[in-house]
A and B are shown apart, each in its own frame.
Chain A
Amino acid sequence: MADPRARRSPLAGWAPQLQALNGAIRAQELPFLTQLNLRLDSGGPAADPVAKVLGVSLPTVPCTSVGSGVYEVLWLGPDEWLILAPAGSAPELMIALREAIGSEHAAVTDVSAQRTTVQLSGPGARELLAKGCAIDLHPAASPEGSCVQTLLAQTGIIIVVRDGTATDFLLLVRSSFAEYFAAWLVDASVELTEPA
């Protein structure tokens, strides 16, 4: 019997269906990524020390993200960012960021359990997303590093464009919507994948 105390990711039960997708679509949950919500004034005194901890400046252009190799920093608003970090790194990163902020007016919140992350890739990825989302994800309109918060099949989602050919996306969906999202994904990809 499975250990009831074992940590279980929101899409653990959907792994076989996601794995069975083949051909033009590949989808995989990246479970338990550390996600920190950062609120601060990007022109204020806390911005520089925080950038030093992260290794990159906070993106100030709306709907963009930057990566430092270890961390990915997503623009969520003019004074709000989401930091993606490897699983399990929340405690150290929180301490480092809070030390960098010091007594300045800013906030770091661990929201790792709020959303789960799905990596969607393959030549059919853009067409699949177009079935449920009005955002133009063509590389001409959404170059590498774009990060849009929008609705995908009526569920709130963050889409991060990770390459310049629209074949690699990171999708962040709320944990409570994750199974619905996975069901939609599997259904919508039927015509884009090869029969098993």
Chain B
Amino acid sequence: MQLIRCPWCGSREEVEFHYGGQAHVSYPENPAELSDAEWARYVFFRANPRGPLAERWVHAAGCRRWFNAVRDTSTHELLAVYRIGEPQPEVAR
């Protein structure tokens, strides 16, 4: 089983964590001015790369804090883990 390094609790088994979708999708600054197409883009459209993707994860069975992680979607390897509010680290592909 893969160990995931929670930014608070340290390395824990993967089953303690839940995945929470793509990270850094910010809420529109002026939601009232958005067209339907722009709303649809915000609500439904997500990146789907083959390779590193910044995602939100939560340590559900531990400290229950959300954090961000860069995961390689082709190998399921977590390349970097960082706290909410921290900038996305550069990872070597």
A110 CB to closest chain B CB (Å) equals: 19
Do the beta carbons of B10 and A63 come within 8 Å of each other? yes
Task: Choose among A63, A80, A151, A156 the residue that contacts B9 (Cβ–Cβ < 8 A).
Answer: A63
Contacts across chains A and B counted by CB atoms under 8 Å: 34
A150–B60 Cα distance when bound, in Å, is 9
Interface bits B48-75 vs A (CB < 8 Å: 1, else 0): 0000000000000111110000000000
Q: Which of A63, A134, A149 is in CB contact (< 8 Å) with B13?
A: A134
* Chain B interface, >50% SS class: loop
Q: Is A76's CB within 8 Å of the partner chain B?
A: yes
Distance of A105 Cα from B9 Cα, bound (Å): 25
Dominant secondary structure at the A interface: strand
Nearest CB on A from B36, distance (A): 38
Asked if residues B12 and A62 are in contact (CB atoms below 8 Å), the reply is no
Asked whether A151 and B10 contact (CB < 8 A) given A76-B63, A77-B63, the answer is: no
Q: Is A171 an interface residue (CB 8 A)?
A: no
Interface residue total, chain B, C-beta cutoff 8 A: 12
Per-residue contact bits, chain B 1-25, to A (CB 8 Å; 1 contact, 0 not): 0000000111011011000000000
Q: Determine if A151 and B64 form an interchain contact, defined as CB atoms under 8 angstroms apart.
A: no
A148 close to chain B: CB less than 8 A: yes
Rounded to whole angstroms, the CA-CA distance of A134 and B9 in the bound complex is: 14
Q: Cβ of A149: which chain B residues have Cβ within 8 Å of it?
A: 9, 61-63
Which A residues are in CB contact (< 8 Å) with B13?
134, 151
Residue in B12, B16, B64 whose beta carbon sits within 8 Å of that of A77 in the complex: B64
The 8 A-B residue pairs with the shortest CB-CB distance, nearest first, are A77-B63, A62-B8, A149-B62, A151-B61, A134-B13, A156-B61, A63-B9, A62-B9
